């Protein structure tokens, strides 16, 4: 009986290890500074522009998505004063290095 229990434990450990190796590691990051109430966030392969109470009457932002193995994407978006929430998203095929939100005045 102990032999079967030991085999079961070994198989369980091996299965957990295989799942751990196959599952991608997810990480979240954000720009360190807010640009007039907005900044960029990014995760493993996706990024987005986010505002927490945009501070100007009409803000026009440029959002740059720095993809690791493909051409970077840039977009210009306009948000109204007081806007909170996501205002743009982008998905990179393999990995994203960062998302930059800057004001275009």
3-state secondary structure of 8: helix
Closest CA to 96 of 70, 61, 62, 63: 70
CB 41 within 8 A of CB 101: no
58/78 Cα distance (integer angstroms):
7
- Token reading at 95: 């990995």
pTM beyond 0.85? no
The pLDDT tens digits along the chain (105 residues) read 565 555 555 455 554 444 444 445 567 899 999 999 999 999 999 999 999 999 866 678 999 999 998 999 999 999 988 999 999 999 999 999 999 999 887
């Amino acid at each position: 009986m102990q032999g079967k229990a030991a085999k079961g434990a070994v198989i369980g450990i091996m299965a957990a290890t295989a799942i751990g190796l196959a599952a991608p590691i997810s990480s979240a990051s954000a720009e360190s500074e807010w640009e007039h109430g907005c900044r960029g966030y990014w995760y493993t392969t996706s990024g987005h522009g986010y505002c927490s109470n945009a501070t100007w009457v009409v803000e026009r932002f440029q959002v740059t998505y720095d993809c690791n193995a493909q051409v970077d994407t840039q977009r210009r978006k306009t948000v109204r004063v007081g806007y909170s929430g996501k205002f743009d998203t982008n998905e990179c095929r393999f990995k994203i290095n960062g998302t930059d939100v800057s004001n275009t005045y």
